């Protein structure tokens, strides 16, 4: 069977999509930058991300999501319209 006809057995998820969805669903999009810092100060952010991924049955590196959100915090003002 040619590769283009084979279905993937596992979905591939984009880090950016996951990070932004996590932020919106779990942290809150209004004043997210401030909320993100508060969550990180608790010290369990990787566990929280992993638990969220597990609940959605998604295999992805929680550290990659954390890194993306940290970088976003450096580049953006912190509020979504």
The answer to whether position 62 is within a domain reads yes
The answer to whether position 64 is within a domain reads yes
The answer to whether position 80 is within a domain reads no
3-state SS record for the chain: CCHHHCCCCCCCCCHHHHHHHHHHHHHCCCCHHHHHHHHHHHCCHHHHHHHHHHHCCCCCCHHHHHHHHHHHHHHCCCCCC
The answer to whether position 19 is within a domain reads yes
The answer to whether position 9 is within a domain reads no
- Domain that residue 41 falls in: 14-75
> Taking the CB of residue 10, how many other CB atoms lie within 10 A of it?
7
Residues 72 and 31: their CA atoms lie apart, in Å, by 13
pLDDT digits over 23-72, tens only? 999 998 888 888 999 999 999 999 999 999 999 999 999 999 999 999 99
pTM score, whole prediction:
0.79
Q: How many domains, in total, are found in the chain?
A: 1
């Amino acid at each position: 069977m040619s590769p283009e006809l084979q279905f993937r057995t596992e979905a591939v998820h984009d880090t950016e999509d996951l990070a932004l969805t996590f932020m919106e669903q779990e942290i809150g999009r209004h004043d997210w930058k401030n909320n993100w810092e508060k969550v990180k100060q608790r010290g369990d952010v990787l566990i929280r991300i992993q638990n969220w991924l597990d609940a959605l049955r998604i295999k992805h590196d929680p550290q990659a999501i954390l890194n993306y959100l940290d970088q976003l915090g450096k580049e953006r003002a912190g509020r979504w319209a």
